[in-house]
Amino acid sequence: MDLLSQTKEEWEARVAEMGQPKFRAKQILEWLYLRRVRNWAEMTNLPAPLRASLEEAFPPAALAKVRESGAGDATRKFLFGLADGQMIESVLIPASPAFYGEASDRRTICISTQVGCAYGCKFCASGLDGWKRNLTAGEMVDQFLQVEALSGEKINNIVFMGMGEPLANYDNLMRAIGILNAQWGPGLGARHMTVSTSGLVPQIRQLADQSLQVRLAISLHGATDVVRGEIMPVNKKYPLGELLDACEEYVGKKKQRITFEYILIRDVNDMPEQAALLASLTRRIDAKINLIPYNVVEGLDWQRPEEGRQEAFLAALRKAGALATLRREKGHDIAAACGQLRLQVEKSFAAEGSVN
């Protein structure tokens, strides 16, 4: 069983089955999330026979760091090995006014939700090798715990923007959010968590209907069905009109501004007329447009437009009345391209024929 996927209620049920009082669940949760201890032997206030049965039912496995890399600033990227040998990435992004568009002392973790991705966006490294499997809630929670432990930093913001499509792993995602948000867990406010999606309409509506105030970011990347359809196959299933209807519903129900992410790819979606179309397309929705210069992926032909062109796109959007920002720092490239470190390392493992 997965130690970090359990809720308080589930721990209570489990200890009751083992003939123990309810407060044992509270003790377990204090060890896991307050003292950050998951080794049963160290949980000295639990009776030894209970520890022995728990050890058997919930082995204290942890994500194992395979590699770490930095982007020249304080951004750190972690490659983790899972129990079945698969690999995922998490990124720690330091406070940065340019990243958030405002002065801030936030430290953000970018969490992966799947191994690989089935959605096959043409510009993205995460989907290049297809989809392998969903992450469990515990594997998402553990990215948070491990990155805090490895960095010594307290994280106060989460974006589900790593490898994978979070809304295609909806139940595990919501379970992880519930645990990360819980008072008995890390206790991070739902408003400090952002789910990024390529636009799965039914799940956006589902998210709109549940009570947590998590934030929503939509990977738009195209202002017409033709342009978006060329680079994001998901657009055939959920075209822009339907997607924007779901976004409008989300904003209406949550009373909350959403974010449209728009990667600028040279000669694909960075023409000034696309900016005007983007502004008019999104006008009906209370949203901020976040422009992200494309991060070149090895093996793919897409290019990043030069800075002048990025600035011109931003100016055209603003002129058309849109609320927009442009991510300018190169140091954050690393965060916008989850999936690449895994790909590089897997390639080098294949070349070396070894795993370290």
Which residues of this chain interact with ligand SAH, rule CB under 6 A? 123-124, 161, 165, 196-198, 219, 261, 263, 292, 294-295, 297, 336-337
Beta bridge partners of 109: 92, 158
Kindly state the smallest distance separating residue 120's Cβ from ligand SF4, in Å. Answer: 6
Residue 38: count of CB within 10 angstroms of its CB: 20
Kindly state the smallest distance separating residue 245's Cβ from ligand SAH, in Å. Answer: 18
The one catalytic residue among 12, 89, 165, 261: 89
Phi/psi for 221 (5° steps) reads 60, 0
Kindly state the smallest distance separating residue 173's Cβ from ligand SAH, in Å. Answer: 11
Residue appearing with tokens 């469990």 = 136
Query: Nearest to residue 32, comparing CAs of 52, 57, 11, 53?
Result: 11
Select from ligand SAH, ligand SF4, none the partner in contact with residue 161, using the beta carbon and a kind-dependent cut-off of 5 to 8 Å.
ligand SAH
Kindly state the smallest distance separating residue 294's Cβ from ligand SAH, in Å. Answer: 5
C-beta pairs of 226-229 under 8 Å, 24+ apart in sequence: 227/268, 227/269, 227/274
Q: What is the DSSP letter of 196?
A: E
Task: Please pick, from the candidates 112, 126, 136, 269, the single residue that binds ligand SF4 as defined by CB under 6 A.
Answer: 126
**Residue 338 annotated among the catalytic residues of the structure:** yes
Distances (CA, A) of 130 to 57, 91, 121, 127, 233: 32, 21, 11, 5, 13
Site map for ligand SF4, 90-119, x if CB under 6 A? ---------------------------x-x
**Residue 124 annotated among the catalytic residues of the structure:** no
Query: Nearest to residue 151, comparing CAs of 106, 87, 73, 94?
Result: 94
Kindly state the smallest distance separating residue 189's Cβ from ligand SAH, in Å. Answer: 21
Contact 88, 33 (CB under 8 A): no
Q: Where are the beta strands (DSSP E) in the chain?
A: 64-70, 76-81, 87-93, 108-110, 114-116, 131-134, 157-160, 193-197, 215-219, 258-264, 287-293, 324-326
Task: Please pick, from the candidates 142, 165, 261, 270, the single residue that binds ligand SF4 as defined by CB under 6 A.
Answer: 165
Contact 43, 51 (CB under 8 A): yes
Contact 63, 142 (CB under 8 A): yes
Residue with smaller CB distance to ligand SF4, 99 or 119: 119
Kindly state the smallest distance separating residue 234's Cβ from ligand SF4, in Å. Answer: 7
Q: Considering the rule CB under 6 A, would residue 238 count as an interface residue with ligand SF4?
A: no
Q: Considering the rule CB under 6 A, would residue 127 count as an interface residue with ligand SF4?
A: yes
Residues 22-81 within binding reach of ligand SF4 (CB under 6 A):
none
Q: Considering the rule CB under 6 A, would residue 272 count as an interface residue with ligand SF4?
A: no
Query: Nearest to residue 196, comparing CAs of 2, 344, 335?
Result: 335
Select from ligand SF4, ligand SAH, none the partner in contact with residue 120, using the beta carbon and a kind-dependent cut-off of 5 to 8 Å.
ligand SF4
Residue with smaller CB distance to ligand SAH, 43 or 337: 337
Residue with smaller CB distance to ligand SAH, 20 or 194: 194
Distance CA 155, CA 257 (A): 23
Distance CA 57, CA 241 (A): 48
Select from ligand SF4, ligand SAH, none the partner in contact with residue 292, using the beta carbon and a kind-dependent cut-off of 5 to 8 Å.
ligand SAH
Q: Specify the 3-state DSSP secondary structure of 54.
A: helix
Task: Please pick, from the candidates 81, 120, 189, 331, the single residue that binds ligand SF4 as defined by CB under 6 A.
Answer: 120
Distance CA 202, CA 249 (A): 12
Residue with smaller CB distance to ligand SF4, 75 or 169: 169
The one catalytic residue among 68, 329, 338, 352: 338
Residues 205-234 within binding reach of ligand SF4 (CB under 6 A):
219
Kindly state the smallest distance separating residue 36's Cβ from ligand SAH, in Å. Answer: 27
Q: Annotated catalytic sites, by residue?
A: 89, 338
Residues that bind ligand SF4 (CB under 6 A): 117, 119-121, 124, 126-127, 164-165, 198, 219
